Amino acid sequence: MTEYSLNLLGGQWVKGQIRKALSGFYYVATADDTLYQTRGRGNFRKRKLTPLVGDWVEFESSSLTDGYILDLLPRKNELVRPPVANVDLGIVVISMVEPAFSYNLLDRFLVNLEYKDIEPVIYLSKLDLVTEKAQVEKVIATYQAIGYEVVALADPAANIALLKKLFHDKLSVFMGQSGAGKSTLLNKIQPNLNLATAAISDYLGRGKHTTRHVELLEIGGGLVADTPGFSSLEFQEITPQELPRMFPEFVQAAPFCKFRECQHVNEPGCEVKRRVEKGEIATTRYDNYLQFLSEIEKRRPIYKKNK
């Protein structure tokens, strides 16, 4: 973090991070945790730039409530849903029951996090409602074998303590299907937040969105964004060639494939398919890969309009 320097207008030209975006205002925190209310300059629209929560920015301000963002500093990544930049950790809250557990949905989240170079953490919720304990053990074993961190301890307090350790010095984002319990979990982690929660709809089988804006919360020595849940994810940017690299176990096997650019579908001498047959790669993961690949290959190209 750089020190303050004087702006020509007599205010302070400061580097800070956007912690909250609400009603056209951006709330920027500086090195000493002072929070400034700012607006974006009009030229951001001309440059087709939108400041996001998590962005590092340079801004000027003559008071705590009257500032303007002058420039956005380079991002290492950004998410569209939720709109957050510079994310380190993606905590996928996935329910085992109500709504029912889905390997397909979990893998969609993981693939998108891998693509954005965000470290995934899997949090299994509603374990107290599970009757088939073997199912939980299978899920844990499947993803731990890949190398993913899975938080699924029997003691809820121990789960929260583990999450807090993971937050330290990182910007973390919660995601998962609606009704999985993200806001409930954050309320347990930091009770004074009082985040709104909503019950599961019996008709739809999923929860209502309860989070209305994006804000970074100081928890466990890091920053955490509470985000809306959503029940489906599409692959808008990933190419067919990139998709195999979003599966860590495929990346590990690929050097042993007969063909260098093996897509792990119909090619002879495919190490990924051999490991699936041997049970060394989960069939659910491979089947989801084939489905995702088909979706990407059938995706309609996006054409940009001429100005």
What digits encode the pLDDT tens for the residues 204-213?
233 343 445 7
**Same domain assignment for residues 25 and 115:** no
Strand extents, DSSP E, the chain: 5-6, 12-22, 25-29, 35-40, 56-63, 66-72, 78-79, 84-85, 89-95, 119-125, 149-151, 171-175, 214-219, 222-225
**Same domain assignment for residues 30 and 82:** no
Residue 162's alpha-carbon distances to 52, 137, 159, 304, in angstroms, are 28, 19, 5, 45
Q: Say if CB 267 and CB 259 are below 8 A apart.
A: yes
Q: Which CATH number do you get for residue 287? A: 1.10.40.50
Give the count of domains, the chain. 3
Residue 215 CA to residue 84 CA, distance in Å, equals: 9
238 belongs to a structural domain: no
The last residue of a domain, from among 47, 72, 97: 72
Residue with more model confidence, 152 or 43: 152
Read off the pLDDT band of 230 (50, 70, 90): low
Read off the pLDDT band of 181 (50, 70, 90): confident
Q: Which residues pair with 151 in a beta bridge?
A: 123
Per-residue pLDDT at 229 = 47
Q: Which of 117, 102, 121, 145 is nearest to 233 (CA)?
A: 102
What value does the mean pLDDT take over residues 230-252?
87
Q: Please state the residue numbers annotated as binding site for GTP.
A: 125-128, 176-184
196 belongs to a structural domain: yes
235 belongs to a structural domain: no
Percent of residues, the chain, with pLDDT higher than 70 = 85
Residue 2's alpha-carbon distances to 37, 56, 75, 300, in angstroms, are 19, 11, 17, 45
145 belongs to a structural domain: yes
Q: Say if CB 18 and CB 78 are below 8 A apart.
A: no
What value does the mean pLDDT take over residues 277-289?
98
Residue with more model confidence, 15 or 177: 15
Residue 247 has pLDDT above 50, yes or no: yes
305 belongs to a structural domain: no
236 belongs to a structural domain: no
**Same domain assignment for residues 90 and 166:** yes
* Predicted model pTM: 0.84
269 belongs to a structural domain: yes
Domain that holds residue 123: 78-225
The last residue of a domain, from among 56, 72, 88: 72
Residue 252 has pLDDT above 70, yes or no: yes
Per-residue pLDDT at 233 = 76
Q: Please state the residue numbers annotated as binding site.
A: 125-128, 176-184, 257, 262, 264, 270
Per-residue pLDDT at 220 = 87
Q: Which CATH number do you get for residue 173? A: 3.40.50.300
Per-residue pLDDT at 9 = 38
Q: Please state the residue numbers annotated as binding site for Zn(2+).
A: 257, 262, 264, 270
